[in-house]
């Protein structure tokens, strides 16, 4: 029997990632001689790990990809892009647009290199007083008055109203209205030093894993539940529906265009330096 090749694979424990990778890591599909060593981490921890090129394959924020594009190339499958799924700025009280523009706020963010922070910085460049923390802690620090506002991602967009918090701005809507493109949140990156044929095989297997998950939605539920902690079933399903879509199966032209717009905007505003290499796996 031929020896399996082990691929280190890092992604978050969030429902969308567990849904995407369940069939792959549990061999519901033919992994063609590849074995995946899974490492689960929060999005900002994933970003930091990618900066040093640690995992062979990793989920990361598209913003963070701009800092490690020399080490990684974007897979065609596995990304989180979409419409009406962007980060939300929330608070306990209404905040006028003038105050947002002035930057006179303390804001909790889910990480410096998250795409959420990139969108906030692009929409409100004067907003500099930020506190970085785990995305799951942001609602609480807004509620206890430690910060004026919080930038929430993932399933928190489904729970903040239940806690009496108010939406100040949907940065996803801001992006879509400004650029007429889906919101590029996170992607799957594959190390450039892997053989090209292996890069393509990994991308194909991720696509097959997503297609299996769509065809057999009940199969991934135990894995998703295991990592969803106390999340309600309805929230878990909303999360998957929002962040896993046709762009997850394949970026397509519209997905690639959205990512290119993000990096062009980042370069024009001085957030990122130009990326000399191709963004996408050919």
In Å, how far from its chain's centre is CA 54? 18
194 CB contacts (<8 Å, ≥6 apart)? 56, 202
Element (H, E) at 38: strand 34-40
Cα–Cα distance, 144 to 92 (Å, whole number): 9
Structure tokens at 203: 């991308």
* Active-site residue flag, 154: yes
Cα–Cα distance, 58 to 205 (Å, whole number): 14
DSSP label at residue 130? E
Helices (H), the chain: 15-25, 43-51, 62-65, 97-102, 115-123, 138-143, 171-179, 196-215, 221-227, 233-243, 246-249, 252-268
Cα–Cα distance, 142 to 110 (Å, whole number): 13
Annotated catalytic residue within 154, 200, 216, 247:
154
DSSP label at residue 67? T
Cα–Cα distance, 179 to 177 (Å, whole number): 6
* Alpha carbon separation from 116 to 33, 121, 153, 207 (Å, rounded): 37, 9, 7, 25
Q: Would you please indicate which residues are annotated as catalytic (active-site) residues?
A: 154
């Amino acid at each position: 029997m031929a020896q399996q090749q082990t691929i280190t694979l890092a992604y978050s424990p969030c429902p969308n990632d567990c849904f995407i990778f369940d069939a792959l890591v549990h061999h519901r599909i033919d992994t063609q001689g590849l074995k995946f060593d899974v490492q689960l981490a929060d999005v900002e921890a994933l970003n930091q790990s990618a900066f040093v090129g640690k995992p062979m394959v990793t989920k990361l924020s598209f913003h963070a990809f701009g800092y490690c594009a020399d080490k990684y190339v974007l897979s065609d499958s596995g990304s989180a892009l979409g419409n009406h799924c962007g980060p939300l700025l929330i608070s306990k009280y209404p905040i006028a647009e003038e105050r947002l523009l002035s930057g006179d706020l303390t804001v909790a963010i889910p990480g410096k290199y998250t795409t959420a922070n990139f969108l906030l910085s692009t929409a409100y460049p004067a907003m500099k007083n930020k506190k970085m923390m785990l995305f799951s802690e942001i609602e609480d620090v807004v509620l206890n008055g430690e910060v004026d506002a919080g930038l929430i991602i993932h399933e928190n967009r489904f729970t903040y109203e239940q806690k009496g918090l108010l939406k100040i701005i949907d940065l996803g809507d801001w992006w879509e209205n400004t650029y007429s493109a889906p919101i590029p949140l996170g992607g799957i990156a594959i190390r450039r030093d892997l053989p090209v044929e292996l890069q393509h095989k990994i991308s194909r297997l991720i696509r097959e894993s997503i297609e299996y998950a769509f065809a057999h939605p009940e199969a991934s539920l135990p894995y998703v539940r295991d990592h969803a902690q106390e999340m309600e079933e309805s929230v878990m399903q909303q999360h998957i529906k929002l962040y896993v879509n046709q762009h997850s199966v394949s970026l397509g032209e519209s997905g690639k265009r959205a990512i290119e717009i993000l990096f062009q905007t980042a370069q024009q505003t001085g957030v990122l330096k130009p990326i000399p290499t191709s963004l996408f796996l050919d």
